[in-house]
Each structure stands twice: as structure tokens, then as C-alpha cells.
Amino acid sequence: MSDAVQLSALVLAGSAVIVWILDYLAQTRGSETLETWADRAHKFSLLVALGVVIALGVLIVRVAWVGR
């Protein structure tokens, strides 16, 4: 279970870094294309976060129900 939690944290951190970089580039460059990609990255990171929450919830229920 520890590996799953560490992997989830790594995925969320990577997603946040990508969003931060795209936001920074969109603000400094003022490019419409970069703004579009930043918006897409925001939506994708929300889906990633939702997937991580669901996966961890399933893991917690499985551990609680079945045991290790």
C-alpha cells in the first residue's frame, strides 16, 4: 500500500509541475496556443486527481475488506 501512495503522490506532483510550467509560459509569452494547452493541462490534472482519489479509495476498501 505504501508503494501505491508514493506513486499517487508522484503522479499528482508531476501533474502539478506540468500545469505550473504551462501557466507560467502562457502568462510570460502571451501565446493563445500556450493558454489553450494550459487550460487542457488544468482539466487533465483534475481528471488525474480524480483517478488517484478513486484508486486510493478502492485500495483502502480492499485492504479494509480483505486484509493485506
Structural domain total, the chain? 1
Q: Mean per-residue pLDDT for 4-25?
A: 89
Task: Judge whether 38 and 18 are in contact, CB under 8 Å.
Answer: no
pTM for the full predicted model: 0.72
Sequence-distant contacts of 57-63: CB under 8 A, at least 24 apart = 59/1, 59/4, 63/1
- pLDDT, tens only, 16-45: 999 999 999 988 988 888 889 989 999 999
Range of the structural domain that residue 7 is part of:
2-66
